[in-house]
Amino acid sequence: MRVRILTYLFIAIGTVAGFAQNSISLEQATDGTFRAKSVRSLNWMNDGQFYSALSDNKIIKYSVRTGEEVETIADGNALDIKIASYSFSDDESLVLIMTDRESIYRRSYTAVFYLFDRESNDLRKLSDGRQSYATLSPDNTKVAFTRDNNLFYVDLSSGNEVAVTNDGKFNYIINGSTDWVYEEELYLTQAFAWSPDSKRIAYYRMDESGVREYNLQLWKDGANYPVDYRYKYPKAGEQNSMVDIYVYEIASQNKVKADIGSDTDIYIPHIYWTKNSELLAIQRLNRLQNQLDILHVNVKTGNSNVILTDKSDTYIHFTFCDDLTYLDNGKQFIFSSEKSGYKHFYLYNMDGSLVNQITQGDFEARTLVGLDQKKKLLYYSSTEDSPLEVHLYSVSFSGKGKKKLTQESGRHRLNMSDDCTYYMDYYSSASKPMTVALYETKGNKLIKVMEDNAKLAEKTKDYSFAEKEFFQIGNSNGDQLNGFFLKPGDFDENKQYPLLIFQYSGPGSQNVSNSWGGGHFVWHQYLAQNGYIVAVIDTRGTGYRGEAFKKTTYKQLGKYETEDLISTAKTLGGYSYIDKDRMGIWGWSYGGYMSSLCILKGNDVFKTAIAIAPVTTWRYYDTIYTERYLQRPQDNPSGYDDNSPNTHAEKLKGNFLLVHGTGDDNVHFQNSVALHEELLNAGKQFDSFYYPDKTHGLGGRRGHLYQMMTKFIMEKL
């Protein structure tokens, strides 16, 4: 496989004479001192000449041409509410405001919603109690939402609240939202959608009564007995929720069940309304996730037809399911696939017949940024220059006339206006913190820099941040792996330094890119200032280098990633300035899984390892993620066991720190308990720590965690 890589070499700034005006404190590694500013909650306005953004608890309207503030649309301070986010009605006369957001899991939430009338300045509460995913109908007359596992809508003219469903029950039936595993692995929480004519609502009904419960014990408020929190969590090989799709007609209150086929052991990653309000599109994914079907459903009868099928010898990555767009002409749609070996966009007729491939080449067309349907132009982000960079391109629907719009080397995250006239570019590089700039698409003309983070750039110079020094290193398979160093500011190649490797390594992920910051960046800077070389590595299985590189790990997670990290460490240990007897590795979640395997399988290479919230056996993890890469345990038992850290516990020789939150609803504390037990059975000495009731991200305890990891590294490495 040919992979084009741009070569970057950023030499760490600072000399012995001029280094370290200030030193990063451990507290600054977690307190946001070096956090980049941004422009958030941006919404493009209908006429294309204005946009809005949330600032100081106010929704502000700005002129696109000047970037200047022209109106305060809603002042949360004056209204005595704290605005978390907002959305407009289609005609922009109403603003739906979310307040008091409370998380359920990673992406799900409940909140209190208000409707603000821009003409009358009237603010009204949407409903009593708390709601989730409130959404205005296209005709501005109704708002749908979920509450207590049921779907409702409010008629704005009468104020009447209508229950679309009434059989919802926690841990049994969910209407209009999703279960834990759909939320976590398909990024799907809102599971309903208004038809374009506002006459119907399509929604999911999930029956999770057959899914086994997981029990989290929570130790709260000094109670004599812990609280049992039980929720449905389908572990690999176990039963999933049964999913049905219904369409509810507002006028008649009739419900039509969509025909999604006879096989019930499936996933429904997304539903979409086409431009025809009587035609619903449903994406259906088989249990092994190697076949994706697009169904078109007649919402009056529920009858369906499969109009397109995408297959893979391995798996179809779920994010591709989000790139289905129906064109305004009502005759065509755009869909993405990896069938060429790289993710690209394709144009189809409504019957599923291929018109043409729009983007093509040995690179990833990452995201669809905008569609100018009048000019028949597709705007997309791409890794064409390098897997380490992301740029904005345009191309005609025919696949001709491709143009590159962004020029500065680095990563560009784009937010384009609906009419494609303007775009906001969130740009950074390894040597430059994020800049947010507004451009006119025609001529790629810069209108205004909204945020340049100049103060942050100066501050990082004052604190002598090391710049990323990129490198490539070969593995045993002949692949070139991407990585970068952060070196001490007074680095001397005639001295030897301890090395700490950080990685995540999960399928499709990326930690090495020509961008500012990255995971745990400031803490890594702190370690570099204290005499450590930090290396960040992307192994086989990581993303944006094509399907073959990413899917190498299929059916054997952990095998090749571990081989790559061990071989990389051996190579780096041969560098004159790295002390091969003082090499360590750490990671979080999948990265913790890898650091655990590396200290075990690579016990002659790594002296020290830290694993935060690791998976230690994929038998404990959820169906959708795990089976996508390993199939079911019934199908591939060796894929689950051969590369489980639990299997290799007796190999531990070095220093190992195992950390987990007991309230982790994602990677259960059970994983660390199991590894803990196997290490004890093998008579191994190690360090472990748990955070009571804390979830996967250990929120609220990061400062303590960094202190603990720092102490461990400085004592053990």
Are 512 and 536 in contact, with CB atoms under 8 Å apart? yes
Are 405 and 391 in contact, with CB atoms under 8 Å apart? yes
CA dihedral 197→131→186→40, nearest 10 degrees, is 90
Q: What length is written for the chain?
A: 717
Task: Mark 598-614 as b/e (b = at least 16 C-beta within 10 Å).
Answer: bbbbbbebbbbbbbbbb
Task: Mark 151-186 as b/e (b = at least 16 C-beta within 10 Å).
Answer: bbbbebeeeeeeebbeebeeeebbbbbbbbbbbbbb
- What is the rounded distance in angstroms from the CA atom of residue 282 to the CA atom of residue 226? 43
Amino acid of residue 285: L
Count Cβ atoms below 10 Å from residue 455 Cβ, excluding itself.
Answer: 10
Amino acid of residue 510: Q
Q: How far apart are the first and last CA of the chain?
A: 38
Nearest CA to 360 out of 373, 379, 341 is that of 341
- What is the rounded distance in angstroms from the CA atom of residue 51 to the CA atom of residue 423? 11
Give the HSE-up count for residue 629: Cα atoms under 13 Å, Cβ half-sphere.
22
Are 183 and 189 in contact, with CB atoms under 8 Å apart? yes
Task: Mark 214-227 as b/e (b = at least 16 C-beta within 10 Å).
Answer: bebeeeeeeeeeee
CA 181 distance to own-chain centroid? 15
- What is the rounded distance in angstroms from the CA atom of residue 276 to the CA atom of residue 271? 14
Are 290 and 312 in contact, with CB atoms under 8 Å apart? yes
Count Cβ atoms below 10 Å from residue 446 Cβ, excluding itself.
Answer: 11
Torsion angles phi and psi, residue 457, rounded to 5: -60, -40
Work out the burial of residue 430: count CB atoms within 10 Å of its CB; fewer than 13 is exposed, 13-18 middle, 19 or more buried: buried
Q: Are strands 142-147 and 687-691 parallel, antiparallel or unpaired?
A: unpaired
Catalytic residue numbers read 589, 664, 696
